[in-house]
Amino acid sequence: MPSLWWAALAAAVPSPSGGTNWYLIVAGNGATIGHASQRIEPRGDGREVIEDRRIRLQETGSPAVTITDQEVTRQDARGRTTAISHQSRIGSSWVRTEARIGTDRAEIVRQTSAERREMTVALPLGVRFDGGAGLLAAWDPARTPRLEFDDFSPEAMAVEHVVIAPASGATVDPGGRLTVLRTRYEGGELRGVSRLLLDGQHRVVEVVQPMFGTSATIRPTDAETALRVSSPYHAVPGSMIRSPYRIPDEAVGGHIRYLFSFSDGLAFAFAQTGEQRVSLSGAGAAVDICPLCGPGLPTDRAYLAGALRPTAWLQSDRRELRAIAAPAVRRPRLSGARRMEMLLVRARPYLATLDFSGHYSALETIRRRAGDCTEAAVLLAALGRAAGIPTKVVNGLVYSRQRYHGVSNAFMPHSWTLAYVDGAWRSFDLALDTFDATHIALTIGDGDARSIQAAGQLASLLRWDGMSEVRARPAG
């Protein structure tokens, strides 16, 4: 899961100003994560804006992994975006996406080492493709405190609503610089936030991307510094925070209430599941987690039908996945929960190797036979759909009392699976085997990298105000 920072960083690099611009990517503890560059190449009928990014990660007991990423935006002579290509590579695995931009839609082809899929994304009138860079020069925050627009995200291959506004308490410094927040929304729900430092001409000169437990800063540098070899970054320990309290076993298996407030005044709606109930009040939230605490997801016919459809991440229509799910299909008299437990057992051999180096679809996972909690959640969700069980993937946090990558008594990013079984939505955790009251849900999706990455960014906005074990009053 830590490598999903890349989805956040991809949209954060400042806009090119001519020639080749170099940037250093640095973690919150000062360690170098990687570097990025941007350049503009003229073409006979326009130009191309080319962005390259590279990071190196390594976890205890595993070899170093290099993640490379390139995005090419093609513009015609009038400056109109006509096509965007995006490709990334992690070891032998690769993803290549091509988007042809029309008047009102983008025709997209996504290819991986496992499959090829096509999709169409509707484009609203006035949608931008530059992250708002073209609007910043003329922006006057004193007259228009909020700069709002729709932006096409090449990484997500989707349209997001973006708001840029001065950070709380920020003022223009003597050098004319101003710190602003850039927030991204999907369907009205907050999905990401970053801090931008603007110079006197409102050009982005630095980006700070908060993530759970740490942050990543992108700042200008020279080619020599950017290309200097550095030690691989250990992302897993950096994406964990120590728990305010050591949680006892009896509380883990029972009912826990968490109290949170929000950083920068950016309150957001938590996901609510069958095990999680959320109460928002003012600038904070109370989150109750127990077996029957929450309202659950919708159960109407349309929502359940959507939770059965194959997607680019949950390829439940593919022969390989249907074959793994077949034993559960052949036992229709078993309860839905029992069939999900069968699928848990069937899925385990395909996660024989622990690998934090990326996020892969269900089909890629069974071919690689490796992954972490994100691949576990995606694989189980895909097998559930292949067996006729509606499923979703939930992303958030989980607690570990034991030492994990050098850190103990800590919360870390995590993903698991929701399934509609026996008339209710219920959580299943393939990666940890059991679900407990330390699973804090933040986003729910279809296993896509966008919703998983969003959970890490939303978690960075949480301030832990307290937690307590809720016990039932004795009878009588």
Q: What is the CB-side half-sphere exposure of residue 131 using CA atoms within 13 A?
A: 22
- List the one residue out of 244, 240, 237 whose CA is nearest residue 260: 244
The full length of the chain comes to 476
Helix (H), strand (E) counts: the chain = 11, 25
- The per-residue pLDDT string of the chain (476 residues; one tens digit each, 9 = 90 and over) reads 444 444 445 445 555 555 799 999 999 889 999 999 999 999 888 999 999 999 988 777 778 888 899 999 999 999 999 999 999 888 778 889 999 999 999 999 999 888 898 999 999 999 999 888 889 989 999 899 999 999 998 777 789 999 999 998 888 888 889 999 999 998 888 988 999 999 988 888 999 988 888 889 999 999 999 999 888 888 777 788 888 888 888 899 999 999 999 988 888 889 999 999 999 887 799 999 999 999 999 999 999 999 999 998 999 999 999 999 999 999 989 999 999 999 999 999 999 988 877 789 999 999 999 999 999 999 999 999 999 999 999 999 999 877 666 677 889 999 999 999 999 999 999 999 899 999 999 999 999 888 888 998 899 999 999 999 998 766 55
Q: What is the CA radius of gyration of the chain?
A: 23
Instruction: Tell me if residue 416 falls in helix, strand or coil.
Output: strand
CB 12 within 8 A of CB 207: yes
* Range 40-47 contact pairs with CB under 8 angstroms and sequence separation of 24 or more: 40/16, 43/74, 45/76, 45/77, 46/74, 46/75, 46/76, 46/77, 46/78, 46/79, 46/82, 47/74, 47/75
pLDDT recorded at residue 295: 94
What distance in Å separates the CA atoms of residue 378 and residue 361, rounded to the nearest whole number? Answer: 7
In the sheet with 276-281, reading across from the earlier edge strand, the strands are: 276-281, 284-289, 256-262, 462-469
Count CB atoms within 10 A of the CB of residue 413: 26
Count CB atoms within 10 A of the CB of residue 369: 12
Count CB atoms within 10 A of the CB of residue 427: 21
pLDDT recorded at residue 406: 63
- Cβ partners under 8 Å of residue 269, min gap 6: 189, 278, 280
Taking the model in full, what pTM does it have?
0.90
For domain 241-469, the CATH class is: alpha beta
CB 246 within 8 A of CB 401: yes
- Residues of the chain by 3-state class (helix, strand, coil), percent to 5: 20, 40, 40
pLDDT recorded at residue 302: 98
What distance in Å separates the CA atoms of residue 170 and residue 143, rounded to the nearest whole number? Answer: 16
Instruction: Tell me if residue 328 falls in helix, strand or coil.
Output: helix
- Cβ partners under 8 Å of residue 437, min gap 6: 251, 252, 253, 254, 255, 256, 275, 289, 290
Q: With b meaning 16 or more CB within 10 Å and e meaning fewer, what string describes 157-169?
A: bbbbbbbbbbeee
- Cross-strand pairs, 26: 32, 217
Where in the chain are the domains? 2-234, 241-469
Pairing of strands 353-354, 370-371: parallel
pLDDT recorded at residue 171: 84
